[in-house]
Amino acid sequence: MSRDIRITPSILNADFSQLNAEIERIAKVSDLLHLDVMDDIFVPNFTFDFEAASSIITSSVLPVDAHLMVAEVDGIAVQYAEIGCASVTIHAEATRNIPQTLKNIRKAGARSSLGIKPMTDITQYESVVDDVDMFLIMTVEPGFGGQSFMEDMMDKVRRTRQIIGDRPIWLQVDGGISMKTIEIALDAGADTFVVGSAVFNAPDPAAMVVSLREFATTRGNK
C-alpha cells in the first residue's frame, strides 16, 4: 500500500525560551509545525493564549498545524484559521457544533481537523467525515508531552481508516510516537505523525525527523 507520510513535530517539549531557533532546527525536514494550544480548562495544562500563539504562527517558517486543546473552541478555532494556520484541530469533546465549525475553518482557508481523546468513540462522528480534512487520534491523554504511547488506541485508528475510505483525509496520531512506536501506528493506518519528545530530546532533532520519515515511507510503501 502506498501512502504519503507526514511528520509534524510538536514543540511542546522544545525550549520555549528560544522557540524560533528550535523551529528552525527542524524546519527543512518537517511538513508542518504542530502547535499544542492548552487552556488549563479542557486539559490540566496551559501553553499559549491566542496572542502568544498568533506571534508563533505568524513568524513560523513552517506552516502551522494548530492543535486546540481548549474548551468552547467553536469561535476561537475560526480565528486560528484566519491568522494563517495551515490546519486547525478542534476536539470533538470541546465543540458545540462540530460540522459548522469544521466548515468555518475550511471557509477561512485552513484544513479542518477533528481531534478525538482516548476515551471517545470515533463511530459517532462518522457523519461529519465530509467536513473533515484530517482526523487526529490521541494516543495519550492530552495535556503533556513525554507520555507512553497507548497501543490500545490502534483499533480506533483502524476504524478511522475504514471511515475515511478513499477520501483524501489525513489520519494523524498524537502522543508517544517514536522510532519504537511509529511502526505500530503506521500499520494501523496512520499517515501523519506528531512527534514531540522523541524529536526534541534527540541529540539531533532534524536527523530524528528524517529517520522517522524514512522508516515510515519505506515500510508504508512495502
Residues 138-197 interacting with Zn ion (rule: CB under 5 A): 174
Cell of 64: 502551522
Output the smallest distance, CB 100 to Zn ion, in A. Answer: 23
Q: Which of residues 137 and 208 has its CB atom nearest to Zn ion in the complex?
A: 137
Is residue 205 close enough to count as binding ligand DX5 by CB under 6 A?
no
Is residue 67 close enough to count as binding ligand DX5 by CB under 6 A?
yes
For residue 53, the surrounding DSSP H or E stretch is: helix 50-59
Which member of 23, 114, 169, 194 binds ligand DX5 (CB under 6 A)? 194
Helix (H, G, I), strand (E, B), or coil: what is residue 172? strand
Q: In 63-204, where does DSSP find H-type helix?
A: 74-82, 98-107, 154-164, 182-188, 197-200
Which member of 22, 39, 131, 174 binds ligand DX5 (CB under 6 A)? 174
For the beta sheet containing 134-138, the strands, ordered from the edge strand earlier in sequence to the opposite edge, are 6-9, 192-195, 170-174, 134-138, 111-116, 87-91, 64-69, 33-38
Does residue 191 carry a catalytic annotation?
no
190: left (phi over 0), alpha (psi -120 to 50) or beta: beta
Does residue 174 carry a catalytic annotation?
yes
Q: Which residues bind ligand DX5 (CB under 6 A)?
A: 10, 12-13, 34, 36, 67, 140, 142-143, 145-147, 174-177, 194-198
Residues labelled catalytic: 36, 174
Which residues of this protein are in contact with Zn ion, per CB under 5 A?
Answer: 36, 67, 174
